[in-house]
Amino acid sequence: MMSCCESPPAPSVNLPTQLKSTSANMSGDASEEEYHLQLTSEEIKCENIESGISSSTPEESSITVYAKTSPRQTKTSADKKRTHHCSDCGKSFIQLCHLQVHQRIHTGEKPYPCLECGMRFNLQSNLSKHRRIHTGEKPYTCSECGKSFRERGTLKKHERVHTGEKPYCCSVCGKSFNQQSSFQIHQRIHTGEKPYDCAVCGRSFRDRGTLKKHKYVHTAEKPYHCSDCGRNFSQQGTLQKHQRIHTGETPYHCSYCGMRFKQYSSLHLHLYSHIEEKPYCCSECGKGFTLQTTLQRHQRIHTGEKPYYCSECGRSFRHSNTLKKHKCIKVDVRTPDIHDTHDS
C-alpha cells in the first residue's frame, strides 16, 4: 500500500542527471528564464505518521529545481494539488501527512517524548534538538571565537556579535539591534506596552527579566551573597556594584577631568559639573541647577518637606540617602560587640 507521502509512480529519471541536463539546456537558451523552486527537507520528505519515525536530515537543506514554466503557472499547478485542507484554519496541503503534522498545532498532540525528562514534542526534529541538552552535544561552532551551540539558529545570532550586524531597526528612534527579542522589548518603550504583571502588587513590566528581579521585593529572597562581608542581595547586578567597595574598582571615568567612579550613575551626575548651563533656577534664593531633580531636592530646604520616614523611630529626612545612613547607624548601635559582652 502506498503511504501518504509517496507520490504516484513516475517515469524512471535520475534526479541529479535530470537537473543537470535541464540546467544546461536552459543556460543555452537565453530567451527562457530560470525559475528556482526552493524546497526545505520537510517538503521533500515527510514523517511516517503511523510509526512516528523520521530519517535524520540536516536542519536546513534545499534543492534547486529548474522549470520552463512561469511562476504563475507553477503556482496554479501546485494549488490544484493542494487537496488536503485543515478544518481549523483553512490551510491547504499537497500531501495528507503534511496536513496531519500541521494539525498538531490545533490538537496539541505531542507524540515524541524525551526519555530523559519526559518533555514531549510535536516534531521529531524538535525532540532531536532538545536531546542535545541532556547529551551536551553542541555541533555548531563559531569560527571566530570557537564557542559552540546546540542549534544553528543560535550560532547565527551569536555571529552578529563579531560582524556587528544589527538587522532590526526601530522606525521610531532609529536604534538598531542584533537580536529580534531585544528589538521587540525596545519597541515597548514607544508603545508603552508592559505585558508582564506582578501577581502580588499588580505592577507591570516590559520584559520578563525585570519582573523576575522585582519579585524578590515580595519574597525577600536574596540569593546573591558577598563573600567579603556576608551581605546578601536580591540582584546580581547590585552585588557586583557592592563588591567594588571591597575591590576598590572604579570602572567609570570622566573624560573631562579623569575622575573615576564605582557606579555609572555617579559618573552621570558628575558630568553635569562640567556643563556651565544651569537651566533650573530656585525661585526662593535664585540658585541654579543643572538637573531638575537636584532643584527639587534643594527646594525642600525652603519648604521644610521631609518625605523620607524611619519606620523604627519616626524621624523624617529630606533625602533618601540621609535616611539610609540613619538606618545604618541604628543597626550598628543595636549590634552587640562580642568583646563588650560578659556573663552576669
11 C-beta neighbours (distance < 10 Å), count: 4
pLDDT reported for residue 344: 38
Instruction: Take residue 150 and report the three cell numbers written for it.
Output: 546546540
Return the sign of the alpha-carbon dihedral for residues 297, 301, 306, 308.
positive
- Average pLDDT by stretches of 10, the chain with 344 residues: 43 37 39 37 44 42 40 52 86 90 91 93 92 93 93 91 91 89 91 92 90 83 88 86 90 89 86 78 88 87 90 86 76 47 41
What CATH number does the domain located at 168-246 have? 3.30.160.60
Whether the CB-CB separation of 210 and 197 falls below 8 Å is answered with no
Instruction: Give the separation between CA 85 and CA 93, rounded to whole angstroms.
Output: 6
Judging by beta carbons within 10 Å of its beta carbon (0-12, 13-18, 19+), is residue 46 exposed, middle or buried? Answer: buried
Q: Coil, strand or helix: which one is 150?
A: coil
Closest CA to 124 of 156, 143, 145, 97: 97
CATH numeric code, 112-163? 3.30.160.60
Residue labelled with grid coordinates 573624560: 255
Q: Evaluate whether 157 touches 140 at the Cβ level (below 8 Å).
A: no
Alpha-carbon span 317 to 310, nearest angstrom:
8
Give the model's pLDDT for residue 278.
Answer: 80
Same fold, 112-163 and 280-330: yes
pTM beyond 0.85:
no
Strands in the chain per DSSP E: 35-39, 63-67, 84-85, 92-93, 112-113, 120-121, 140-141, 148-149, 168-169, 176-177, 196-197, 204-205, 224-225, 232-233, 252-253, 260-261, 280-281, 288-289, 308-309, 316-317
Cβ atoms of 248 and 261 closer than 8 Å: no
Residue 79 is predicted with a pLDDT of 56
CATH number at 280-330: 3.30.160.60
At 328 the pLDDT is: 72
Q: Domain extents for the chain?
A: 112-163, 168-246, 280-330
* Strand partners for 66: 36
